[in-house]
Amino acid sequence: MALVTGASSGIGQGIAIRMAQEGAHMVVNYYSDEEGAQDTQKAIAQAGGKCLLVKADVSKEAEVEAMFAQAKKEFGTVDILVNNAGIQEDADFLEITLEQWEKVINTNLTGPFLCARAAAREFVKRGVKKKTSTAAGKIIFISSVHDIIPWGGRVNYTTSKGGVMMMMKTLAQELAPQKIRVNSISPGAIKTDINKDEWKTKEGREQMLSQIPYGRIGEPDDIAKVAVWLASDEADYVTGATLYVDGGMTLYPSFAAE
């Protein structure tokens, strides 16, 4: 069974649907968008998959613990966690409030920490079940190219994603002896709600494309396909890695030959 946080829209929805198509039972976490979560559930049902919807704020310890308890009650255990939920709340550094800082750090950094801890405790308790996987469990963080690319006006977001990178590496190192694989996918520009103000206008799209050597804006399924592979035993020797799925955004496109 795979649990995806923030799966009522965008990348999380895409991952939940594709994992179900590949045969996983799903726990679809959502925050407030129940309708979006139901759309995910419908698509999973169409794929013949089982799905439990759980409303929870990933930044709240009690809600995360209750979500994992519900997931275990329904499916017996948790095999895969996709830490996808995330937000942006942009503000120039001289103007940013403590509230804006904490909101993003709580959702993008503390949330993945709470979920990873709950998942790892379950993986260690259960151990390897050879019929399911060669690993005891898999954790995938949906980070961002902004775990390495600075981004003015968004210190809360970039700091959260930089923190996610070190959390991922530290957990990968610490949990490898327990046969738990921990990795990140760092997307570039993917067409979702988080950046709709940019891709909805012609100028915004052109600006985005100027940073993408591969010449197209990504779709949630570009990330979902990689997540499915990373969660599978095909990737059994991959741990502590960040896969930049970004059409080349991290290749310093402004330095390309004329």
Give 215's contacts (C-beta < 8 A, 6+ positions apart): 209, 247
Q: How far is the CB of 128 from ligand NAD (least distance, A)?
A: 29
Q: How far is the CB of 198 from ligand NAD (least distance, A)?
A: 9
CB-nearer residue toward ligand NAD: 15 or 24:
15
Angle of helix 98-105 versus helix 155-175 axis, rounded to 10: 30
Q: Which of 30, 157, 237, 244 is catalytic?
A: 157
Q: How far is the CB of 63 from ligand NAD (least distance, A)?
A: 8
157 an active-site residue? yes
CB-nearer residue toward ligand NAD: 134 or 207:
207
How distant, in Å, are the alpha carbons of 22, 98, 178, 246, 252 from that of 218? 21, 32, 35, 7, 18
Cα angle for residues 245, 113, 229 (degrees, 5° grid): 35
The maximal CA–CA distance of the chain, rounded, in angstroms, is 58
CB-nearer residue toward ligand NAD: 6 or 137:
6
Give 140's contacts (C-beta < 8 A, 6+ positions apart): 80, 81, 82, 83, 183, 184, 185, 227, 230, 231
CB-nearer residue toward ligand NAD: 197 or 258:
197
Q: How far is the CB of 34 from ligand NAD (least distance, A)?
A: 10
Residues at the site binding ligand NAD, with contacts judged by CB under 6 A = 5-6, 8-12, 29-31, 33, 57-59, 84-87, 107, 111, 142, 144, 187, 189-190, 192-195
Task: Point out the residues that are catalytic.
Answer: 157
